[in-house]
Chain A
Amino acid sequence: MTRISITVDGVRYDDDVQPRTLLVHHLRERLGKVGTVVGCDTSNCGSCTVLMGGESVKSCTVLAVQADGLEITTVEGLAGSDGELHPVQQAFHDRHALQCGFCTPGMIMSAVDLLAENPDPTDAEIREGLEGNLCRCTGYQNIVRAVRDAAATMRAGASEPAPAAPEEAPAPAPAPVEVGS
């Protein structure tokens, strides 16, 4: 057994794991984070995608021990504490970017990762950015539309002046808002 400490969706967990434990199994079976699913188990479909240290990875192709000391974000950690959906989640809902929904957690996490690097991707860049995620219902058109919409929402949010801190007047220049983390 190896002791690991990982922070998942803002909560720290210390656990003893077998080194062979895959991160996705640790998330689902030990921590109950079943929002992250296993599709192919062969590293191809991307449905198990989570952010590790802020970057997308296929959690079926990471050992839990490799995540030691790192921060993990799953699809369960995207919504605000008041339940307000992340712009990418909202856009998937609005654009009907899912049919059976199995690929959705991974698609959303990959889209969040892509938009953190490229806030204004072209359709071609969205398709390429999501190349590690397969949708067996083949709903790619709406997925691309949803990511495009989410990007626009997030850019608009980023350029709104940040609400002034109560004790500070006048308001400071808007800080660039970090998207997608």
Chain B
Amino acid sequence: MIPAAFDYAKPSTVDEAVRALAEGGEDAKVLAGGQSLIPVLRLRLAAPTVLVDVGGVGELRGVRDDGDALVIGATTRHADLLRDPLVARHAPLLAQAAAQVGDRQVRHLGTLGGSLSHADPAGDLPGAAVALDASFEIAGPGGRRTVSAADFFVDFLTTALAPDEILVSVRVPKRPGWTTHYEKFNRVAQAWAIVGVAAAVRRENGSIAEARVALTNMGSTPLRAGAVEQSLAGSAATVDAVASAAGHAAEGADPPSDAFASADYRRHLATVLTRRAVLAAGGIA
């Protein structure tokens, strides 16, 4: 299968990329690692007129320490996240989620920004970004703006990005005192999440002071498990307390039924995986 013909632009700055997108009009598309886009093009589910390859834009790649946050360029690859010492120190949840993406080959090309912009509800990085309260820097013809992770994911494969905008970087606040875990359930190696749970926990003395929990593939966007977070805040750091809080994981969620799992099974998985994720994040045994 061969994609329909398109023109190809390879800008070297963000401004050039934004201009190329604008010139390409409505049917221009950004190409990052291509690990979601090329399969779509090959099936001819999309036929953009222009691809703007942002792989050569230096500003978009790499991880930088910005005081109270890490700033991670959009074209930083999954494989880079796995090896990066700053990510390991300040945002290990992202590396843990990236390690779950596809296989080595996919991780060598696929990018953080591509995963977030593609916004597949089964994607591993969006939930992690929501749990970490990341914010996204976006560049467009009118300049730059910042959108919170909570506002970025709008619907199935739909984000706050306008067609003429580019995701530049992801800002992940450092959270001293917090520990995290990503728990993914899938059928076979290399497969997408049936359900995934990203958890971040701050313990104080013998209890859980605060928690943030985000669910993958329990709706059309990553979801915060608000009832779980409330129940965990101030609770004892015990297996029983966590299990009881995790029982609320599917509250308010409207998960899909598909060939892999029914909605009911997903609700069940959400509670089990939330318990595991929070216990692992908090080091509670």
Contacts and interface: CB of A to CB of B under 8 A. Distances in A.
Interface stretch (A124-132, A160-168, A171-179): A124-132
Contacts of A133: 103
B38 to A, nearest CB: 5
28 contacts: A2-B8, A19-B6, A19-B8, A20-B3, A20-B6, A20-B41, A22-B3, A22-B42, A25-B2, A42-B39, A42-B42, A56-B108, A57-B105, A58-B106, A60-B42, A61-B38, A62-B38, A63-B8, A63-B31, A63-B38, A65-B8, A65-B53, A66-B31, A110-B105, A131-B190, A132-B105, A132-B106, A132-B190
B285 interface: no
A110 B55 contact: no
B259 interface: no
B55 A61 contact: no
Contacts of A44: 190
Interface string A35-76: 000000111101001001001111011110110000000000
B103 A131 contact: yes
Q: Which of B5, B108, B190 lies at the interface centre, i.e. has the most chain A CB atoms within 10 A of its CB?
A: B108
Closest 6 CB pairs of A and B: A132-B103, A19-B8, A131-B189, A55-B108, A20-B3, A132-B105
B4 A46 contact: no
Interface of B: 1-8, 10, 31, 34-35, 38-39, 41-42, 51, 53, 55, 79, 102-106, 108-109, 189-190
Given A41-B42, A56-B108, A63-B8, 4 more contacts: A19-B8, A42-B42, A57-B109, A62-B109
A66 B105 contact: no
A2 B8 CA distance: 8
Contacts of B42: 22, 41-42, 60
Interface in A111-150: 113-114, 127-129, 131-133
Contacts of A21: 2
A66 B2 CA distance: 16
Given A44-B190, A57-B109, A131-B189, A20 B4 contact: yes
A132 B102 CA distance: 7
Contact of A19 (B51, B106, B109, B190): B51
Contacts of B55: 66
B191 to A, nearest CB: 9
Interface residues of A, number: 33
Nearest to A46: B105
Nearest to A48: B105
A46 B103 CA distance: 10
Contacts of B106: 43, 58, 61, 132
Contacts of A56: 104-105, 108
Nearest to A69: B56
Contact of A20 (B5, B10, B53): B5
B133 to A, nearest CB: 30
Contacts of A113: 104
A27 to B, nearest CB: 14
B34 A66 contact: yes
Contact of B34 (A18, A55, A62, A132): A62
A136 to B, nearest CB: 14
A175 to B, nearest CB: 23
Nearest to A113: B104
B2 A20 contact: yes
Contacts of B38: 22, 43, 61-63
Nearest to A22: B2
A52 B4 CA distance: 24
A173 to B, nearest CB: 27
Contacts of B31: 63, 66
Contacts of B104: 56, 110, 113-114, 129, 131-132
A52 B190 CA distance: 21
A49 B39 CA distance: 15
B29 to A, nearest CB: 12
A170 to B, nearest CB: 37
Nearest to A55: B108
Nearest to A59: B105
